Structure 1
């Protein structure tokens, strides 16, 4: 039985750490590198037309898994499975489903790995005991989400091996190219923001996102995608990591995870009150 996610445990401390957001682009690339996920996103996602709303929905959903309690996670898991059951289509002449067990498990795997890598890059790497507790908790969440046992390696070292083997089989695809184009041309996040102001911010935002993607992708996949990485880039990223590490060091763990925990609790409250959810959240 998985350890509960309560205050002070590994998943509580690390899953919602604000530095995890620095890996958002990397996680998206890794997810759509899977051919079934790529096809599903290509055919059914509206992220190209409205990436900011899609981002907020994703953050809200993720927050419930860890910080919404077991009941909240179960409700969100049922909602996701109902939603993804309708995402079917054809890719390379073969039928696919968004609930394909391997693809569904891979999306979860990228979310399991992201906080571990965020700490390795921008914080203090998790200890062996922390990794064991964290992975056991995330496996428990995976079971709630409906991940099959065969896709949940029993130990963290086995999970790392599975993760490396999956990445070894990935390469360029149309959806990754579209994702990069979307990052490069993303529209303003708020309708009231002036076009002039966003035009000044957009270039820096896009360049920063692509830099973090190039910096944090596994080097072998970065090379296969044709993304350049220079010694100067490595030095710049090292300086950025030191700054992020220092910022995290001066903040207590409870503050590092506060935004995600608040979003998780708020979303549980909203989903228990459909009238409020419909009022505050666009369908």
Structure 2
């Protein structure tokens, strides 16, 4: 339960509520995962502790529930934030370059949060109608309030939206690196069939996953900063940019046909229902359904708190 010392959670008047739990944010999921993994500390933690690459869909969808809860759980949001933070307590080690890492290192933990914030910004900017500079400053202030829920050091958090832009650019240019975790997350050639498509014959999925994977990789390339494209050796032509704008505007327009509540992930939807009095105020939003539960022990990142089989002993 929350206490009087907990930071004030975000509410339905925030732009973050409007965009973070929107299903269109999944179009930026490969971007967010790769941006996180390019950070040395995060990449090492994924390589040595995570089962992500054996269960991409399960790991993605079960993560959405508690992470979304930090935004949408209202009076229980601080409790959810402490739960998410606890999952990272034992994720530590020494990477292949001899650098120590810990998931709760303030700079590492904040970078992950910064990518979630920018995921919401990119979703709004490209596939949800656009953002003004004033909106971006407002969302920046909200992301600070959101980050405070975790009880982490606020030292790495930039003071203003302009400072954040400089921080983001500096990190992209000077900190991020191409590592095994990055190459693996961007490799969609063997993308497993999600459980929601069990009705699809495996032979059909093996054919369908090729254009799906290429489409996501192309969209992700368009979302990257130019410096990140250069780091990854990716080409982006003027023609690509024109097609990118056309595709994202089409998605943005078409999505307005979707009823409001159906635009949101279940945990986010529960938040909207709660503020309308249609969900109990003292009850968490829904947990991850059984089809997304870990095939390994634990759930969300509890399973990541233990070293993977075959991970180097440190």
2: distance between equivalents of 1:278 and 1:18?
20
2: distance between equivalents of 1:208 and 1:277?
27
Query: By how many angstroms is 1:280 displaced?
Result: 9.1
Matched, 1:268 2:284: yes
Query: By how many angstroms is 1:179 displaced?
Result: 1.5
Shifted more, 40-49 versus 14-23: the winner is 14-23
| SS of aligned partner of 1:227 | coil
Give the equivalent residue in structure 1 for 2:237. 230
Query: By how many angstroms is 1:248 displaced?
Result: 3.9
Which sections of structure 1, spanning at least 5 residues, go unmatched? Answer: none
> Would the alpha carbon gap of residues 4 and 176 (structure 1) be closer, same or farther in structure 2, given more than 3 Å must change?
closer
> Would the alpha carbon gap of residues 129 and 220 (structure 1) be closer, same or farther in structure 2, given more than 3 Å must change?
closer
1: distance between equivalents of 2:186 and 2:171?
21
Shifted more, 18-27 versus 75-84: the winner is 75-84
> Would the alpha carbon gap of residues 255 and 34 (structure 1) be closer, same or farther in structure 2, given more than 3 Å must change?
same
TM-score normalised over the length of structure 2: 0.78
Q: How many residues align?
A: 277
> Would the alpha carbon gap of residues 135 and 185 (structure 1) be closer, same or farther in structure 2, given more than 3 Å must change?
same
Query: By how many angstroms is 1:228 displaced?
Result: 2.0
Aligned residue runs from structure 1 range 136-215, under 5 A: 136-169=141-174, 170-181=176-187, 183-190=188-195, 192=198, 193-215=200-222
Query: By how many angstroms is 1:270 displaced?
Result: 5.3
2: distance between equivalents of 1:207 and 1:52?
17
| SS of aligned partner of 2:242 | helix
Aligned with 1:87 (options 75, 79, 91): 91
Aligned residue runs from structure 1 range 57-76, under 5 A: 57-71=62-76, 73-76=77-80
* Matched-pair contact (CA < 8 Å) for 1:15–1:115: yes
Aligned with 2:46 (options 41, 47, 64): 41
Which sections of structure 2, spanning at least 5 residues, go unmatched? Answer: 1-5, 299-314
RMSD across aligned C-alpha pairs, in angstroms? 2.8
Shifted more, 123-132 versus 135-144: the winner is 123-132
Deviation per residue, 1:57-96 (Å, 9 max, x gap): 121122201111142x222222222221111111111321
Aligned with 2:108 (options 103, 108, 115): 103
Give the equivalent residue in structure 1 for 2:36. 31
Query: By how many angstroms is 1:167 displaced?
Result: 0.8
Higher helix share: 1
Query: By how many angstroms is 1:216 displaced?
Result: 0.7
